[in-house]
C-alpha cells in the first residue's frame, strides 16, 4: 500500500531540521506517527526503530554504494560507500586498527591533551567551547594517530568544511566547493604516500598502506579513498558530539551534577547522550530491488533516508527512551549506525568522549550558557559553530 501523508507532512528540509531544530525529538515523534513518508519523487523517510534496524542490517538491499552522494570524491569512499562482499574485506583490514584495546592505549595521551586545552582558558571564566575544545581535541588526536603534522590542521579543517558544509544553498552552488576540496585531498595524500614509500613510518597510515585484500596489497587509490573518508569522519563527528554533549549539560544542570558527582556513570552517560542527541540524524541508502517497508512499496533505484535519530527515541520499541537517563544500561542505541556499515571509529570516539567528560568536569564542574545566548545548531549533522560557556573564577 502507498504511505499516506496525513497529519504531519514532512518536506525535503525535514532531514536537515532533525539536526538543526532546538528539539529534534519532537519532529521525530511526529514523523513516527506513520512509519514511512514519501517526499515527492525525491526519497522515502523510514522513521520507526524496527524498520530502521531492518534496513541497516540489509546492506545489499539498502545500498550505500548506489546512493551516488557527491562529497567531492571521484571514487567511492572506503569502506563507507562499498557494499558487501568487498565492504567486509576492507573491514577485515581496518577493524583491527580501531579495536577497543588499541584505542584504549590512547587514553593517557588524550588526558594530557584535554588538560592542555583546558589550561589555556580555565582562568578566563568563559570560552567558545566549540573553537577552543570541541574542534582541536579530536582533530589533534586524529593527526597524531595518522602521523600527519599538526601544522596541517587548519588546512584539513578548511577542506573538511568545504566538503561537509560548503558555501551555498543548492547543490549547484555547493558542489564546486566540494570538488575543489576533494582535489586537494587527493593531491595531499598522493604526495604523502610518496613520502611514506621513501621513508616508512609506523603510524596508522603506514598500517593502512601495508593492508592486504585477498593477499594483495591495497593500491594507492584505495589508500587515498580510505584517507578521504577519515578526513571527513575523523575531523567532524566527535566534534559534533562534544558540542551536543556540553550544550545539553550546560542547559541541564541536574544531569551535569550527576556526571560531576559520580564519574562511574560517565561511560553510560556517553551512550545516553549519543542516543539523545544523535549527531548523525540520518543516513542515505538506495534500494537495489523492489521492497516493502511497513507495507509501503519502494522500487529498485529509489532513494531512502534512514532516520537514526527517530529510531533512537522510539519509545514504542524501547519504553522510556523519550527521556534522558544517564545511567541507562543496556543502551542499544543506533548513533553509530548498524549492520556491516556500523561506524569504524566508534571505539576511538568513545575513548575521546569519556576522557573529555571526565577530565573537563574535574577542572570545571560548574558552567552555563552566558545570558542571552541563542544556540544555532547546524543542518545535516547536529553541531554548533559556536558554544559559549561561562563558569565561576576564583579571585
pLDDT higher than 90, residue 3 = no
Cβ proximity of 363 and 258 under 8 Å? no
Rounded CA separation 251/257 (Å): 12
Identify the band that residue 6 occupies on the pLDDT scale cut at 50, 70 and 90.
Answer: low
Q: What pLDDT score was predicted for residue 282?
A: 96
| pTM, two decimal places | 0.95
Q: What pLDDT score was predicted for residue 2?
A: 42
pLDDT digits (tens, 9 = 90+) for 189-212: 999 999 999 999 999 999 999 998
Rounded CA separation 288/62 (Å): 6
Rounded CA separation 78/83 (Å): 10
Is residue 245 left, alpha or beta, with left meaning phi > 0 and alpha meaning psi from -120 to 50? Answer: alpha
Measured distance between the N- and C-terminal CA atoms of the chain, rounded to whole angstroms: 68
Q: What pLDDT score was predicted for residue 395?
A: 65
* Alpha-carbon dihedral angle through residues 383, 388, 392, 394, given to the nearest 10 degrees: 110
Q: What pLDDT score was predicted for residue 235?
A: 87
Q: What pLDDT score was predicted for residue 394?
A: 77
Cβ proximity of 264 and 258 under 8 Å? no
* Alpha-carbon dihedral angle through residues 131, 135, 141, 146, given to the nearest 10 degrees: -120
DSSP 8-state assignment for residue 206: H
pLDDT higher than 70, residue 375 = yes
Q: What is the mean pLDDT of residues 115-123?
A: 98
Cβ proximity of 177 and 168 under 8 Å? yes
Q: What pLDDT score was predicted for residue 1?
A: 37
Domains of the chain: 14-369 (1.10.630.10)
pLDDT higher than 80, residue 172 = yes
Give which of 66, 48, 36 is closest to 295, Cα–Cα. 36
pLDDT digits (tens, 9 = 90+) for 144-156: 999 999 999 999 9
The x, y and z cell numbers of residue 284, run together, are 542515505
User: Average model confidence (pLDDT) for the chain?
Assistant: 94
Share of residues in the chain with pLDDT > 90 (%)? 88
Rounded CA separation 128/319 (Å): 36
pLDDT digits (tens, 9 = 90+) for 62-117: 999 889 778 999 999 999 999 999 999 999 999 999 999 999 999 999 999 999 99
Rounded CA separation 339/56 (Å): 5
Distances from the Cα of 281 to the Cα of 14, 198, 221, 351, 383, angstroms: 11, 42, 30, 21, 11
pLDDT digits (tens, 9 = 90+) for 254-288: 999 999 999 999 999 999 999 999 999 999 999 99
Cβ proximity of 206 and 196 under 8 Å? yes
DSSP reduced 3-state for 259: helix
Distances from the Cα of 381 to the Cα of 39, 102, 243, 384, 388, angstroms: 20, 28, 11, 9, 19
Rounded CA separation 63/125 (Å): 48
The x, y and z cell numbers of residue 126, run together, are 568563559
Distances from the Cα of 231 to the Cα of 29, 97, 111, 155, angstroms: 33, 16, 23, 11
pLDDT higher than 90, residue 169 = no
Residue 122's Cβ-count burial label (10 Å; 0-12, 13-18, 19+) is middle
Identify the band that residue 7 occupies on the pLDDT scale cut at 50, 70 and 90.
Answer: low
The x, y and z cell numbers of residue 292, run together, are 516493502
Rounded CA separation 202/181 (Å): 28
Amino acid at each position: 500500500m502507498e504511505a499516506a501523508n496525513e497529519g504531519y507532512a514532512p518536506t525535503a528540509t525535514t532531514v536537515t531540521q532533525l539536526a538543526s531544530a532546538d528539539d529534534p525529538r519532537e519532529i521525530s515523534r511526529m514523523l513516527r506517527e506513520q512509519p514511512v513518508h514519501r517526499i515527492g519523487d525525491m526519497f522515502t523517510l523510514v522513521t520507526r526503530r524496527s524498520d530502521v534496524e531492518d534496513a541497516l542490517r540489509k546492506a545489499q538491499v539498502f545500498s550505500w554504494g548506489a546512493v551516488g552522494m557527491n562529497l567531492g570524491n571521484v571514487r567511492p569512499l572506503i569502506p563507507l560507500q562499498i557494499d558487501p562482499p568487498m565492504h567486509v574485506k576492507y573491514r577485515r583490514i581496518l577493524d583491527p586498527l580501531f579495536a577497543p584495546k588499541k584505542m584504549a592505549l590512547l587514553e593517557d595521551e588524550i588526558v594530557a591533551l584535554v588538560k592542555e586545552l583546558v589550561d589555556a582558558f580555565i582562568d578566563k571564566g568563559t570560552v567558545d567551547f566549540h573553537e577552543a575544545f570541541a574542534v582541536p581535541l579530536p582533530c589533534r588526536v586524529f593527526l597524531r594517530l595518522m602521523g600527519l603534522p599538526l601544522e596541517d590542521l587548519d588546512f584539513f579543517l578548511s577542506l573538511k568544511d568545504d566538503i561537509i558544509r560548503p558555501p551555498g544553498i543548492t547543490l549547484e552552488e555547493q558542489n564546486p566547493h566540494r570538488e575543489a576540496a576533494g582535489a586537494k585531498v587527493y593531491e595531499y595524500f598522493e604526495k604523502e604516500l610518496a613520502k611514506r614509500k621513501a621513508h616508512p613510518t609506523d603510524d596508522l597510515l603506514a598500517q593502512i598502506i601495508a593492508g592486504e585484500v585477498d593477499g594483495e596489497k591495497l593500491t594507492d587509490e584505495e589508500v587515498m579513498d580510505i584517507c578521504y573518508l577519515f578526513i571527513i569522519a575523523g575531523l567532524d563527528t566527535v566534534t559534533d558530539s562534544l558540542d551536543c554533549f556540553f550544550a545539553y549539560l550546560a542547559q541541564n544542570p541536574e544531569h551535569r551534577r550527576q556526571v560531576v558527582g559520580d564519574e562511574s556513570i560517565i561511560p553510560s552517560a556517553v551512550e545516553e547522550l549519543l542516543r539523545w542527541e544523535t549527531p548523525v540524524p540520518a543516513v542515505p541508502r538506495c534500494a537495489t530491488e523492489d521492497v516493502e517497508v511497513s507495507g509501503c512499496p519502494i522500487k529498485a533505484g529509489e532513494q531512502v533516508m534512514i532516520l537514526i535519530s527517530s529510531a533512537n527515541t522510539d519509545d514504542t520499541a524501547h519504553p522510556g527512551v523519550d527521556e534522558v537517563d544517564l545511567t541507562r544500561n543496556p543502551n542499544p542505541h543506533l548513533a553509530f549506525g548498524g549492520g556491516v556499515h556500523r561506524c569504524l571509529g566508534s571505539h576511538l570516539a568513545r575513548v575521546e568522549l569519556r576522557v573529555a567528560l571526565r577530565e573537563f568536569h574535574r577542572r570545571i564542574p560548574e558552567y552555563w550558557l552566558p545570558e542571552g545566548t541563542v544556540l544555532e545548531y547546524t543542518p545535516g549533522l547536529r553541531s554548533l559553530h559556536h558554544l559559549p560557556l561561562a563558569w565561576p573564577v576564583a579571585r
